[in-house]
Structure 1
Amino acid sequence: MLQSTKGLPLDVRLSAYLDGEVNEAERKELEQLVARDDEARRVFDMLQAGNAFGNKAFEEFLHDPVPLSLVRRIKQGPGVNPKTERVVTATPRQAKQRLWPRALAASAALLLVGGSTGFIIGKTGNDDDQPLKMAAARTWLDDIADYHRIYARQTAEHLVEVPASAGGKIEGWLASNVGVNFALPDLSDKGLTFEGARLLVATGKPVAQLMYKDQDGDVFAICFLKSTPGSTDGKMTESMRDDIAMISWQKAGASYVVVGPSSDASLHELATAVSTAI
């Protein structure tokens, strides 16, 4: 059951938000607070960095990869039979607990991470560099996952920045800002309807985001940014961020990723179609 965090410290409230343990009204309130308040954004970034730090340490402890198909079977229940099995390293989510123990644990973890990293960084630079150096461990895919988690919850009028009705103008707008020429993929044969586009920023670079919806209302995204010139590596890599699955690849000086629900067994097939069409 979702609990109210009103009256609790800001870091506790934001930690509960990151864990998906706040109700819809508080979620919107906290998102607006982070968007307009610099201090709230700083605390939010620190909590995200702490999560990334802890997740990375735990992933290194796990030696045996978890088949993505097994994760999907657990999420969907009996009867799931993906066509292919792809192995990825996924961090198992712990069982939901009451807010107070989780909040106290989150605060303790934040103090531990902040203290230890501050001690290490203090030997080589001043305290002002700490957030930047902690964030350096994040990749553009981490930023994209965070964006997707927020935007996928929006209603139709807020889902995209430029609606699909803008047509061909979207291609010119994104190409000029991102520096990557592309063709807008028609994924209607995959059961997806194009909703529109957004311009994002990940690891300091402009990123194009194309948004699609299926008949069940699930949101899928195609994101890309300019990468190392001459890169032609088309090998696809699949990864997970909790309930979000991502398939990424590089091609002709650009990096691409298809984002969707981790329960979708056809995401790899969708990414293959996108890599050909885009």
Structure 2
Amino acid sequence: MQNTKGLALEVRLSAYIDGEVDETERKELEQLVARDDEARLVLEMLKAGNAFGNKAFEEFLHDPVPLSLVRQIKQGPGANPKAERVVTSAPRQAKVRLWPRALAASIALLLIGGSTGFIIGKTGNDGMTPTNVASARTWLDDIADYHRIYSRQTAERLVEVPATDDRIESWLSASVGVNFALPNLIEKGLTFEGARLLVAAGKPVAQLMYKNEDGDVFAICFLKSKPGTADSKMTESMRDDIAMISWQKSGVSYVVVGPSADASLQQLADAVSATI
């Protein structure tokens, strides 16, 4: 059995779906889902994503390798001998209790939002058997989808840990592997509301949540970059009604998220970069 206490809600509920939690934790999660609308929504999305991911994985395993590709591998110049082994299909195996795989597939669907994300299509290849195609997503797409969900929550549901908890910095630093200083953005008209721990691109992400006087929600998110990632300038991007300014600095990927109608997001990002 997995011990998921203290992990992100998505992780705990994914383990619950796969039956990888003990009886005590199972009852605790069921009680949480019964009283918490947000937890219930996450559970439903994870279940749907689990079914979708398993179906896609099953189809991928049973797709034969195109004959033209087999011939090219065997007859083409400079062919790699190791590539000559061709697998045309794979038998369906008994259910494997590997909840991280289910989590990956489930979170992908949760973050799709019904418009983009994990898409598997069938396209012809010179009249041969179709191949699978999946659209690429970045961690910024994941963050945008999270922000779209959480920014609409009521005050008591907006964050996982409230601003009054003085352990936020140590908790997120240990979880994400990034040391940081909590930005004070009062002069920018933003009040710190609290924090969350997210999962984006398969990595833990820290999310700091702020509100302005009009009730608009802003977020600062960051995760540890891949080793060797160079620093980069700030880049602005849009995801429908959400504006994002992202950059790389000292081995960390940052993004500031806010309403697309806000004209001061660049100044906010400059302030965050200088203080975090």
Report the 3-state secondary structure (helix = DSSP H, G, I; strand = E; otherwise coil) of the residue aligned with 1:185.
coil
Contact 1:33–1:40 (Cα < 8 Å) also in 2? no
Q: Pick from 257, 266, 275: which aligns with 1:259?
A: 257
Residues 231 and 276 from structure 1, CA distance in 2 versus in 1: closer, same or farther, beyond 3 angstroms?
farther
Q: Pick from 112, 115, 139: which aligns with 1:48?
A: 112
Contact 1:230–1:252 (Cα < 8 Å) also in 2? no
1:116 corresponds to which residue? Answer: 122
* Structure showing greater relative contact order (alpha-carbon pairs closer than 8 Å, 6 or more residues apart): 1
1:147 corresponds to which residue? Answer: 146
- Determine if the alignment matches structure 1 residue 35 to structure 2 residue 47: no
Query: Unaligned regions of 5+ residues in structure 1, if any?
Result: 1-27, 54-109, 125-129
Residues 118 and 249 from structure 1, CA distance in 2 versus in 1: closer, same or farther, beyond 3 angstroms?
farther
2:248 corresponds to which residue? Answer: 250
Report the 3-state secondary structure (helix = DSSP H, G, I; strand = E; otherwise coil) of the residue aligned with 1:207.
strand
Contact 1:239–1:246 (Cα < 8 Å) also in 2? yes
Measured in 1, the distance between the counterparts of 2:142 and 2:161 equals: 20
Percent identity over the alignment is: 67
Measured in 1, the distance between the counterparts of 2:198 and 2:38 equals: 20
Residues 260 and 119 from structure 1, CA distance in 2 versus in 1: closer, same or farther, beyond 3 angstroms?
farther
Q: How many residues align?
A: 183
CA distances 1:149-204 after superposition (whole Å, capped 9, x unpaired) = 0000001110000000002x101000001001000000000000000000000010
Measured in 1, the distance between the counterparts of 2:214 and 2:169 equals: 27
1:184 corresponds to which residue? Answer: 182
Query: Unaligned regions of 5+ residues in structure 2, if any?
Result: 1-35, 53-107
The equivalences for 1:81-160 within 5 A come to 114-116=120-122, 134=134, 137-160=136-159
Structure-2-length-normalised TM-score:
0.59
Contact 2:163–2:193 (Cα < 8 Å) also in 1? yes
CA distances 1:100-141 after superposition (whole Å, capped 9, x unpaired) = xxxxxxxxxx9xx64426989x767xxxxx6xx726x10000
- How far is 1:32 from its partner? 3.5
CA distances 1:72-104 after superposition (whole Å, capped 9, x unpaired) = xxxxxxxxxxxxxxxxxxxxxxxxxxxxxxxxx
Give the letter for the 2:150 counterpart.
Answer: Y
- How far is 1:233 from its partner? 1.5
Measured in 1, the distance between the counterparts of 2:236 and 2:176 equals: 23
Measured in 2, the distance between the counterparts of 1:237 and 1:250 equals: 10
Give the letter for the 2:134 counterpart.
Answer: M
Report the 3-state secondary structure (helix = DSSP H, G, I; strand = E; otherwise coil) of the residue aligned with 1:172.
helix
Measured in 2, the distance between the counterparts of 1:47 and 1:160 equals: 18
- Determine if the alignment matches structure 1 residue 170 to structure 2 residue 234: no
Measured in 2, the distance between the counterparts of 1:224 and 1:119 equals: 41
Measured in 1, the distance between the counterparts of 2:210 and 2:154 equals: 13
Measured in 2, the distance between the counterparts of 1:48 and 1:178 equals: 23
Q: Pick from 227, 235, 240: which aligns with 2:225?
A: 227
- How far is 1:37 from its partner? 5.5
